[in-house]
Structure 1
Amino acid sequence: MKAITEHTGRAVVLRRSNVDTDQIIPAEYCKRLTKSGYADALFAGWRADPLFVLNQPANAGASVLIAQHNFGTGSSREHAVWALRDWGFVSVVATSFGDIFHRNAFKNGLLAVELPASAVDWLADAIERDPGLPVTVNLRRCEIGAGGLRYPFTVDARARELLLGGMDEIAVTLERDASIRTYERTRARWLPSIRPSVPSMVGGAGS
């Protein structure tokens, strides 16, 4: 997972509240068995409209999404985060997020930033006036800046640590692989253990 410390890029504004995960990525795209390759599925239903914001040439290459209230509500699917990430978004800014989406974002390298409505509205207005306006999201200082203004934000300390290090929970566990192996090799034999299961003989020879 790529580390996020400070990112500067252009932003695109999605003037819709209560965007759920089925709108971010329709369920039919969740049948794929990979964790990448979902850019084509992002907002697939809405992108059928030529006027949708992601279809506008001025927004090509935007890496920060300015959303509204309650972004990512609805069912739990990491695919919603994967689709945003695969499109090229590094950060999503909103006044609030669905709880599960919020957790999934941090676990999959997408920085979800909550700001007051006044700050989100100012960013949205500024970006719509000037689609080329650079937006900087600084995770080290926990602030977002654009047009000479800066807005502080808060991030869960553990999530921030993992994003800054470019690590997910599996990578953190693997860092302790040597210690885990040593423990398993030296642990007392009388302690509980899980033995390999024996294949069922039902329907086999002698039944």
Structure 2
Amino acid sequence: MKKDAVAYLNTRKKGDFAAQKSEVESYCKYRFQIVEIFHDHRANATPPEKRKGFTELLDYCAANNCPDIIIYDFAGLASDLDAGLATLKALNDKYTIYCVNNDFFGFRDDPDQRREAVGNFVAYMDQYRESARKAAPVISKKTKKEDGRPIGRPRALNEGQVEALLTVRQAGTSISQICRMFDVSRSTVSKILADYPELKGEWKGARQEPEE
């Protein structure tokens, strides 16, 4: 028997809603009956708790005792990594979260184990966030210019953030999503993944050699 569930979509481009809705319906075909779909558009820079669609989702779940939420993409919860993890943790404390795209938690048929897996992942990422803060480089006086600015170009990510980047890449997060999550360029991600060829993947729009 199908379980009732609600869905949340956070879209960026025209046409994304129809495409994501179709994938959600396909994902839920044999497991869930979608009773409501909540939607925010071009709201990535806005924290989830301040979005109209997301707050309506939470109000609906609380009022109707709906324990299951389907989202399209974990990385799409927020463009900021800290905000995304905080939102995932808050949702997981009350509901069972399922993801259509790049779902790496498993236990789709066991809500308790699934929530435990999500909780373990958030705790794991929190450790890296904390170590990243502690490992933030201290700027020496000798490395500053007269106006107080550091000499040279600062590193885009510290060691803790690099570890977090590799973790989410191993989990299946796309390079484009990683760029948004960590606010870095594709070239920066490419340099980090240079030592991990299994994580590089294929670049879209790659130049093809002409046929002889």
TM range (shorter): 0.3 to 0.5
Larger Rg: 1
| TM-score with structure 2 setting the length | 0.32
Q: Could you say which structure has the greater relative contact order, defined with CA pairs below 8 angstroms and 6 or more residues apart?
A: 1
| TM-score with structure 1 setting the length | 0.33
More helix by percentage: 2
